[in-house]
Chain A
Amino acid sequence: MCLGVPGRVVSVEGNKATVDFWGVRRQVLLDVVDEPVAVGDYVLNHVGYAIRRIPEDEIQETLELFEQLLAHQSPDDLMATGVRAEIAGTGAGDDAGS
């Protein structure tokens, strides 16, 4: 529940954006993000809400942790599982879906 996940905005319709998370596209709500969000921006997503537009020159650094988690970790790794669940929108933590 603590770790948000960054993704790239593909389209914006009103208070909803379609966001690409490493190939997974999902809707993210823009109700609480405090800056205008446009196509191509990166946002930090948390339980379905964008909580921050990531400044452009800091995107790369922000993505790296997540790429490492997604690329290299065993499927039962706690941290990677949490990130994958956040990306898939299936629920926080490993008990989701049960």
Chain B
Amino acid sequence: MPGPEPGAAFRQLKFRDPVRAAAMAHAIRRITAEIGRPAVTIMHVCGSHEQAIAKFGLRSAFPRALNVIMGPGCPVCITDPPEVDEGVVLARQGVHVATYGDMLRVPGTTMSLADAQADGAKVHVVYSADQAVDLARQVDEPVVFFATGFETTAVATAAVALRGVPPNFSILCAHKYIPPAMEVVAGIPGTRVEGFVAAGHAATITGWGVFEPFVERHGLPVVVAGFEPLDILASVVRLLELIRDRTPRVANMYPRCVTKEGNRRAQEQLWRVFEPADGGWRGIARVPGGNLRIRDTYSPLDARRRFAIDRSTLPSPPERGLETSCICGAIMSGLNSPVDCVLFGGACTPDHPVGACMVSSEGTCRIWHEYGGHPDLGGLT
């Protein structure tokens, strides 16, 4: 039987190799010093990376001059309020709306899907696109899958579309594609980001080659990273070396899951069903090519073409209150951190979130709140 049984690899230690971890922490301090500037800022674009960084206390190993910040890496957070509105409108019209659990409480312009559900709308949490199809097989009424997330969940939606679905099933597509958003962040005037850590599992799909044009255009290095604390530390070391040496390129530090070409079969299915389109990312910008739209060939599956979705049927937005102070967009753009927000941890908490970044378990504010409010002993503040 190839491979160990699950359980055999168990290690008691926080780092499976503390000596290597200490050596990498030392390298990070040394290279940051060699770069020699008062602040070096690098950005990662993945909620799971932020969870690992916060949970394992990696920032405590970083020198004060090194800022490691999270960009637009939470798929739930960057879903645009008008997209949530479309799901809410459909649910209020009596359509079954199925979506991932994290989406429920994300605010639209006037309400969330959870609010609609509390008012009696048929909103269902599913684990996978497949479960939404199963639901459509069990009911006679229309079922719409509110499809959110990046490349990794988009391939699942594409696979469902290609396999064939019951006639009462359609897709409200709010999928986003990460590489164009990195372009937008890199192009923000006055951005302090000098390099990117790319998310390992999205790159499992796209391959690391997808970042080469970005590196060429912006002269910023990109390192693809896994999710182990050691993976992340090693990726930060590599990224700092590339910054220090002024040799922007793509480095793959997660070769056990990522190849240059990526998963060709998944890409083929993804681009057969979807095409890139311009779209809003909550609080950040309109991102050219940052949305995935269902191609004309699959238009019968497109909920936007099947239903008249009239957002004017929604109640008027409530008087704007706390959310006028929310800085989720600036946080996801890398301009601010959660502790810069006057609401953070006071008026805005996981139980009473104001912005999307506090709603999702992959949102920067939620993660920082969960792991001690300020999981950062290095720079940033």
Residues of A participating in the B interface, judged by any CB pair closer than 8 Å: 1-4, 7-8, 20-23, 29, 31-34, 40-42, 44, 46-49, 51-52, 54-56, 58-65, 67-68, 71-72, 77-79, 81-82, 85, 89-98
Contacts and interface: CB of A to CB of B under 8 A. Distances in A.
Contacts of A79: 48, 51-52, 55
Range, interface on chain B: 35 or more
Given A34-B266, A61-B256, A67-B6, A47 B201 contact: no
A34 B263 contact: yes
A42 B203 CA distance: 19
Give the top 4 A-B pairs by smallest Cβ distance, nearest first. Answer: A96-B101, A48-B128, A58-B256, A91-B101
A58 B259 CA distance: 14
B127 interface: yes
A8 B263 CA distance: 20
Contact of A8 (B3, B51, B114, B362): B3
Nearest to B3: A59
Interface string B254-265: 001100000111
Contacts of A64: 9, 11, 16, 228
B204 A4 contact: yes
A56 B125 contact: no
Interface of B: 1-7, 9-12, 14, 16, 46-49, 51-52, 55, 73, 75-76, 100-102, 104-105, 114, 125-131, 148-150, 152-153, 155-156, 158-159, 162-163, 199, 201-202, 204-205, 226-228, 256-257, 263-266, 269, 360-362, 366-367, 370-371
A71 B149 contact: no
A86 B214 CA distance: 32
Contact of B163 (A31, A52, A89): A31
B4 A96 contact: no
Contact of A2 (B6, B12, B362): B362
Contact of A20 (B6, B150, B202, B264): B6
15 contacts: A1-B75, A2-B362, A7-B6, A47-B129, A48-B130, A49-B156, A51-B201, A56-B2, A67-B9, A72-B12, A78-B366, A89-B127, A90-B127, A91-B125, A92-B101
Given A1-B152, A46-B152, A46-B201, A59 B159 contact: no
A68 B128 contact: no
A2 B48 contact: yes
